[in-house]
Amino acid sequence: MEAHQESPERPDLAATVEALLFLSPTPASVDQLAEACESDPSEIEAAIGVLDERLGAGPRGLTVRKVGGGWTLATVPGVEEASRRLLAKPRTPPLTQAQAETLAIIAYLQPVSRPEIARIRGVSSESAVASLTERGLIEESGKSRFGAVIYKTSQLFEKVFGLESLEQLPDPSRFDPTPEDERELRERLLSVGDQRIEP
Amino acid sequence: MEAHQESPERPDLAATVEALLFLSPTPASVDQLAEACESDPSEIEAAIGVLDERLGAGPRGLTVRKVGGGWTLATVPGVEEASRRLLAKPRTPPLTQAQAETLAIIAYLQPVSRPEIARIRGVSSESAVASLTERGLIEESGKSRFGAVIYKTSQLFEKVFGLESLEQLPDPSRFDPTPEDERELRERLLSVGDQRIEP
Amino acid sequence: MALRAGLLDLDLDLDVFVGPFDLLLTIVLREEVSLLEVELGEIAAAYVERLEEQGEIELDVATEFLILIASLLELKSRLMLPGADEDLASMEPAEAVEELVSRMLEYRRYRDAAAVLDQIFAKERPFLFRSAPLPPELRRVAVESATKVYEPDSLASAIGDLLTPPEQIDLSHVKTTVSLRQRVSMLKSILTASSSFDFDDRFGQEDRLTQAVTIFALLQLFSEGEATWEQTENCGPIKVIRTDRANSRPRVVADPV
């Protein structure tokens, strides 16, 4: 094809970055890319900008994403059905309620032990922890002083949740109960009893 | 980035094919792609043409290639050095017991066939042989008279064991539990191995 | 935010208390009934019974119930450990309420965070990532840059392991096994050599199991029309006889064996 003739002998920096992101099984940081390309981090950042523009310019199947502290290539949305047919892969199941709660606790409190997770959820969370581990979203991160395994989220977690880093998790204060909620809960617990005891 | 606004909601067929080739770890045939995209092989062929043109039109890091009856995405030439710097990190995890035994058999008896390795170890040694091959510590060295692949250690093996030549392999007599047995090493390994298989 | 209605009016019929769950909760917290006297298992059973009646499970309510029961269990277990924690054991009702309230609020915080994570997950799922192995040339150390990382002695020691004969497996604990098929073929070969024999002469020295299996083999030969036997008195000698297929019927005078 004629177009091939026009392309330069050596790929430019943006093209090299694209090739590296294609090969790398995990997100690559700007520093790693700079070292590999023997160039400056600022040049790499500019090259990623160029790559993003190129990929965004036409109808393209790929996009560049910043996840888990690095850059990676991903498909554009809209190809899940076709890829499932090609790769014969089952659909990624959504998170169950137990898994989502366990993951939220680990994401915000990490590193955190299983007894601690169970204490917060009020139920043993063994099977949720096991399936999150199997899905690669969390991983063991050593042992607590009392010998319990402690957990943290994995890089895959950041990747599949599209997070640049854990800082990008929604601000936990937005989940704080309002003072009214607290008061209501407290009063309810006591006052209902009062009414019944002293009719 | 502005360019993103222009891209259509759903990827077109060429973009879908690009995404599929990106995801597939092995080359995909036109028929497989047609089935995955629920379209005709002729449309897929046209889409591959479009993709090839798009990738060839600008300085890009990826190219579409036909390999062994299927299509695949590959990096453009000229990124080998950078990718080695990024990805070819020294991978020298500790050897498992199975790998150490298999490697020892190959080192001392080479060239040696896989059935012989299995007979000495008393278990099939496929996965150990595969991972030693992948790590570049052993390599194929032709076929035996009966058609079994035979193995020898590689140059990399000598380097990571700090050996200038195979002559420098340590004398196993220090670890020999039956030093009075004067038969050749190979013969003795095989005869002990036979006891391992049928107690 | 308050306890779900579905949970509050759970009716209980316990030894120390009859009435709705929320009332029990309240009077426990006010120490009018000692938690030590309350069978938490019965409350759980009542709740499960309720679930069965309803035929459906409201997850939020169920979770809230579990949290409450778990908190109560923890409080109760603390009470049951004498002197383990004086402060907690002597906890004022108001403090106990605070403990329970803070537990429930803490849980709700993560329940809400979980809902948000779930939304993010749904939004991000359409982006697919490649998972392909590295090309072979990138999977190994380049020979030029390789340095010594393994001890050659580990290879010699592995050879030593392989030269060690495996331990003989101790079979002494394995019980003798007798194969019916072997006994059948043994009987056949005896009967080929002679037209009859005395059972005790042949098998009297065998253990009980072997004798029993041999009798079973004899029955098999009989059913195949190849042998029959005679026993003239109870527990007397058994004479095993080869038969012609035409006429075979054991002549049992007394009860066999």
Query: What is the pLDDT at residue B108?
Result: 93
Q: Identify the band that residue B199 occupies on the pLDDT scale cut at 50, 70 and 90.
A: very low
Provide CB contacts within 8 A for C110, sequence distance 6+. A101, A104, A105, A108, A120, A121, A175
Query: Is the pLDDT at B138 greater than 90, yes or no?
Result: yes
A87, part of any domain: no
Together in a domain, A104 and A150: yes
Together in a domain, B105 and B189: yes
Average pLDDT over residues A143-164: 85
Whether residues A35 and B86 touch (CB distance < 8 A) is answered with yes
Determine the Cα–Cα distance for residues B199 and C168; give it in Å rounded to an integer: 7
Q: What are the pLDDT digits (tens) for B28-47?
A: 999 999 999 999 999 999 99
Q: Which of C71, C101, C132 sits opposite A182 (nearest CB)?
A: C101
3-state secondary structure of C116: helix
More confident residue, A190 or A176: A176
Together in a domain, B115 and B188: yes
The angle at the Cα of A56, spanning A55 to A61, to the nearest 5 degrees, equals 60
Q: Which of A9, A11, A57 sits opposite B79 (nearest CB)?
A: A11
A153, part of any domain: yes
A149-158, A168-177, C89-98: range with lowest mean pLDDT? C89-98
Minimal C-alpha gap between C3 and chain A (Å)? 7
Chains A & C: contacts with CB separation below 8 Å: 156
More confident residue, C30 or C192: C192
Query: Is the pLDDT at B22 greater than 90, yes or no?
Result: yes
ipTM above 0.90, yes or no: no
A155, part of any domain: yes
Strands (DSSP E) contained in C107-254 are 196-198, 227-231, 238-242, 251-252
A169, part of any domain: yes
Backbone φ and ψ for C145, nearest 5 degrees, come out as -95, 0
Q: Which of A108, A172, A186 sits opposite C97 (nearest CB)?
A: A186
B161, part of any domain: yes
Decide: B62 and B75 in contact? Cβ < 8 Å.
yes
Together in a domain, B116 and B187: yes
Tokens found for residue C252: 């049992």
Tell me if the bond preceding B111 is cis, omega within 30° of 0: yes
Together in a domain, B149 and B187: yes
Q: What are the pLDDT digits (tens) for A103-128?
A: 999 999 999 988 888 878 877 788 88
Together in a domain, A112 and A173: yes
Domain interval for residue A182: 97-193
A101, part of any domain: yes
A26-35, B14-23, C162-171: range with lowest mean pLDDT? C162-171
Query: What is the pLDDT at residue A2?
Result: 40
Query: What is the pLDDT at residue A15?
Result: 92
Chain centroid offset of residue B187 CA = 31
Which residues are C228's β-sheet partners? C241
Q: In what order do the strands lie in the sheet with A138-143?
A: A112-113, A149-153, A138-143
Determine the Cα–Cα distance for residues B72 and C130; give it in Å rounded to an integer: 13
Query: What is the pLDDT at residue C254?
Result: 46
Query: What is the pLDDT at residue B15?
Result: 92
Together in a domain, A42 and A130: no
Whether residues C162 and B178 touch (CB distance < 8 A) is answered with no
Q: What are the pLDDT digits (tens) for C78-114?
A: 666 544 444 555 556 666 667 777 777 888 888 889 9
Determine the Cα–Cα distance for residues C133 and C156; give it in Å rounded to an integer: 33
Which residues are A63's β-sheet partners? A74
Please state the domain count of chain B. Answer: 2
Together in a domain, B187 and B105: yes
Determine the Cα–Cα distance for residues C257 and C245; give it in Å rounded to an integer: 24
Provide CB contacts within 8 A for B158, sequence distance 6+. B164, B165, B166
A86, part of any domain: no
Decide: C17 and C38 in contact? Cβ < 8 Å.
yes
Query: What is the pLDDT at residue C166?
Result: 78
Nearest residue of B to residue C134, measured between CA atoms? B87
More confident residue, B84 or A184: B84
B141-150, C124-133, C167-176, C202-211: range with lowest mean pLDDT? C167-176
Q: Is C166 on the interface with B (CB under 8 A)?
A: yes
A102, part of any domain: yes
Determine the Cα–Cα distance for residues C22 and C26; give it in Å rounded to an integer: 6
Q: Identify the band that residue A175 occupies on the pLDDT scale cut at 50, 70 and 90.
A: confident
Determine the Cα–Cα distance for residues C111 and C117; give it in Å rounded to an integer: 10
Candidate ranges A4-18, A95-109, B119-133, C200-214; pick with highest mean pLDDT: A95-109
Average pLDDT over residues C241-255: 57
Determine the Cα–Cα distance for residues A137 and A156; give it in Å rounded to an integer: 6
Average pLDDT over residues C36-65: 74
Average pLDDT over residues B2-17: 66
A1 CB neighbours in chain B (<8 A) are 52-53, 56
Whether residues C156 and B95 touch (CB distance < 8 A) is answered with no
B189 CB neighbours in chain C (<8 A) are 159, 162-163
Query: What is the pLDDT at residue C8?
Result: 61
Q: Which of C133, C141, C155 sits opposite B103 (nearest CB)?
A: C155
Together in a domain, B117 and B71: no
The one-letter amino acid code at B52 reads: D
As a residue count, chain B comes to 199
Whether residues B88 and C168 touch (CB distance < 8 A) is answered with no
Minimal C-alpha gap between C82 and chain A (Å)? 22
CATH number at residue B104: 1.10.10.10
The chain-wide mean pLDDT, for chain A, equals: 83
The angle at the Cα of A42, spanning A36 to A44, to the nearest 5 degrees, equals 40
Query: Is the pLDDT at B100 greater than 60, yes or no?
Result: yes
Average pLDDT over residues A56-62: 84
Query: What is the pLDDT at residue A1?
Result: 42
Average pLDDT over residues A57-70: 87
B94-108, B175-189, C51-65: range with lowest mean pLDDT? C51-65
A61 CB neighbours in chain B (<8 A) are 11, 14-20, 22
Q: Which of B103, B136, B170 sits opposite C140 (nearest CB)?
A: B136
The closest alpha carbon to A111, from A138, A77, A78, belongs to A138
Together in a domain, B72 and B147: no
Q: What are the pLDDT digits (tens) for A72-86?
A: 999 999 898 898 888
The closest alpha carbon to B135, from C148, C137, A22, C159, belongs to C137
Whether residues C158 and B100 touch (CB distance < 8 A) is answered with yes
Q: Is C32 on the interface with A (CB under 8 A)?
A: yes
Q: First vs last Cα of chain A: how many Å apart?
A: 91
pTM: 0.56
Residues of chain C with pLDDT > 90: what percent?
0
The chain-wide mean pLDDT, for chain C, equals: 74
Interface-testing mutation among A175, A176, A180, with chain C (most C C-beta atoms within 10 A): A175
Q: What are the pLDDT digits (tens) for C148-157?
A: 888 889 899 8
Determine the Cα–Cα distance for residues B194 and B192; give it in Å rounded to an integer: 5
Together in a domain, B127 and B180: yes
Together in a domain, A101 and A188: yes
Residues of chain A with pLDDT > 90: what percent?
34
The chain-wide mean pLDDT, for chain B, equals: 85
Average pLDDT over residues A65-74: 90
- For the four alpha carbons of B53, B55, B56 and B58, in that order, the dihedral sign comes to positive
The closest alpha carbon to B29, from A19, A61, A194, A86, belongs to A86
Per residue in A117-151, is it b (16+ CB within 10 Å) or e — as a string? bbbbbbbebeebbebbeebebbeebeeeeeeeebb
Nearest residue of B to residue C164, measured between CA atoms? B177
Minimal C-alpha gap between A163 and chain B (Å)? 19
Q: Which of C128, C141, C153 sits opposite B90 (nearest CB)?
A: C141
- In angstroms and rounded to an integer, the radius of gyration of the C-alpha atoms of chain A is 24
A117-126, B3-12, B164-173: range with lowest mean pLDDT? B3-12
A56 CB neighbours in chain B (<8 A) are 1, 3-4, 6-7
The one-letter amino acid code at B119 reads: R
Average pLDDT over residues B69-96: 84
Last residue of a domain, one of B76, B110, B129: B76
